[in-house]
Amino acid sequence: MTSTIESPALTSSEVSVPHYRLFIDGEWVDTSEQYVIVNPATEETVATAAKGGIDQADAAVAAARRAFDQGIWRSLPPVRRAAVLEAVADALEARSEELAATATREGGAPLYLSMGLNAITPVSNLRYFAELARRYQFEAPGPVVGGIAHGGVIRREPIGVCAAIVPWNFPLALAVWKIGPALAAGNSVVLKTDEKTPIGALELARELQAAGLPDGVFNVVTGDGEVVGAHLAAHPDVNKIGFTGSSEVGRKVAEAAGRSNLKRVTLELGGKGPNIVLADADMQMAVDGAIWGFLMHAGQACESGTRLLLPSSVHDRFVERLVDRLATVRIGDPLDPTSNLGPLISAAQRDRVLRYVELARVEGATVACGGRVPAGTDKGYWVEPTVLTDVTNDMRVAREEIFGPVLCVLRYDTVDEAIEIANDSDFGLAAGVWSSNVDAALDVARRLEAGSVWINDFHMANENYPFGGFKQSGVGRELGVNALDAYTEAKSIQISMEPDIQKRAYGLALSTPAPAWGD
């Protein structure tokens, strides 16, 4: 164990912003190259961070492998591992305001959202995984099969070295979704952060070290995804990959994982979520729900409700009210508590979103509102809340993930038609249904091809419920008891209690008795 707990950040009289180092084998490690972390609202430098490469990724995997093979962490009783996770949760909770402000500066989410998803949610999730570790059946008696008289034990054992690759939109929360169950199960972890938002993960490393996690059990590297992320996906000493990102990259991760050592994968990928308003819905609630569904974090959430399906009978009035409500959204400094909407993560992402708006016009859609850079924003990466009407489900804007504050509105005449439109997608991550009749909404929800369906709500990520996608939205599930299943391997140990009975049952009895052992 390292005797003193350092900070991941370095400052000096010559440096006006903090510089963050990598965390490998219990040590803070610098590199010759660095990233500049930019505030997407102001374009000011927030910090710099060491830029990792293949050498740092290999060192982190080697440290994780040594730690796992030594067995100090995985041999601890689950209650001891749970205590470490809870200690980290307490430490993060005490720093929640600081962590939320930092997340807003590096990622651009409004402060209220950063407090929820990059401060409070990770704390809640860590406590959930600690509680789950205490009650999870890592070893349990197997069934006794009377006909052939044998019983046994069913074990869930840690997989080994787990690589977690997380995106920039909710970096700490999505990291904890992988780190929490991996550590609770006794694995070692290498976390690869996105280069735009590494700070929360590095602060998490500090708290894990302070809580007594053995060196090498948890490591953090940065690096370009196509270099470091791809290297981890193909690394022969990595046994499991947990990845959140685009479907395109997810397919590459799965291919590399299968080609190297058939490592286990959990992939939480893209989405194009349908948000269905039924004719009997509370329309004011549904208007606000539609806004929340597509506009949270400026639409930079893979489970966003970006296809709004409206009955023809209410379409025009609903869109009119939707546009009026969007006019009240406060766009501005995400550190200002009165701001509702922050910027996109980068200039490249802003330009990508604006190109999709222009494509929508070319395809025949109508821009009912937005579609531009807000007036007066000479700094930062901003796009107005945008509503596209006259959209049909064969348009690219209705089929491809835009990842910005853009809502596609589609008409339907019958519920069956709405379900057909909703399911006509390569994606299947999340969906919403709005109705005053819960039974009717449940009937629709059961028919939707999506891993999560919310009724009269959207974006509700409850750690007790599994989260993941159908179709090209992913493989496996995070959260819920499924999370620990995903970071363990099942082993059956079967005990023969009456071997002669089993031999006769399978027709293997020998006609001549065996001689005594000593003869």
Query: The tokens 């070893």 sit on which residue?
Result: 139
Q: How many helices (H) and strands (E) does the chain have?
A: 17, 24
Are 193 and 222 in contact by the 8 Å Cβ rule? The answer is yes
Task: List the Cα angle 416/422/425 in 5-degree steps.
Answer: 135
What Å distances lie between residue 60 and 63, 288, 357, CA to CA? Answer: 5, 45, 42
Using CA atoms, how far apart are residues 441 and 277, in angstroms rounded to an integer?
A: 10
Strand partners, 471: 427
Are 322 and 293 in contact by the 8 Å Cβ rule? The answer is no
Residues in the chain: 519
Nearest CA-CA partner of 374 in 366, 385, 387:
385
Are 294 and 406 in contact by the 8 Å Cβ rule? The answer is yes
Query: The tokens 């962490």 sit on which residue?
Result: 73
Is 268 annotated as catalytic? Answer: yes
Are 336 and 111 in contact by the 8 Å Cβ rule? The answer is yes
With b for 16 or more beta-carbon neighbours within 10 A and e for fewer, the 59-84 pattern comes to: bbbbbbbebbeeeebbeeebeebbbb
Three-state secondary-structure class, residue 426: coil
Nearest CA-CA partner of 393 in 274, 269, 248, 246:
274
CA torsion sign for 355, 359, 361, 367 is: negative
Instruction: Say how many CA atoms lie within 13 Å of 511 toward its Cβ.
Output: 0
Paired tokens of 139? 């070893």
Tell me which of 86, 106, 268, 449 is the catalytic residue: 268
Tell me which of 302, 303, 401, 408 is the catalytic residue: 302
* DSSP 8-state code for residue 213: P
Is 302 annotated as catalytic? Answer: yes
Are 244 and 271 in contact by the 8 Å Cβ rule? The answer is no
Using CA atoms, how far apart are residues 376 and 371, in angstroms rounded to an integer?
A: 15
Are 139 and 219 in contact by the 8 Å Cβ rule? The answer is no
Q: Where are the alpha helices (DSSP H) in 95-239?
A: 96-107, 111-115, 121-135, 171-185, 199-210, 230-234
Using CA atoms, how far apart are residues 213 and 33, in angstroms rounded to an integer?
A: 28
Instruction: Say how many CA atoms lie within 13 Å of 442 toward its Cβ.
Output: 3
- Residue 266: partners with Cβ closer than 8 Å, 6 or more residues away: 178, 240, 241, 242, 243, 468, 474, 475, 476, 477, 478, 486
Catalytically annotated residues: 268, 302
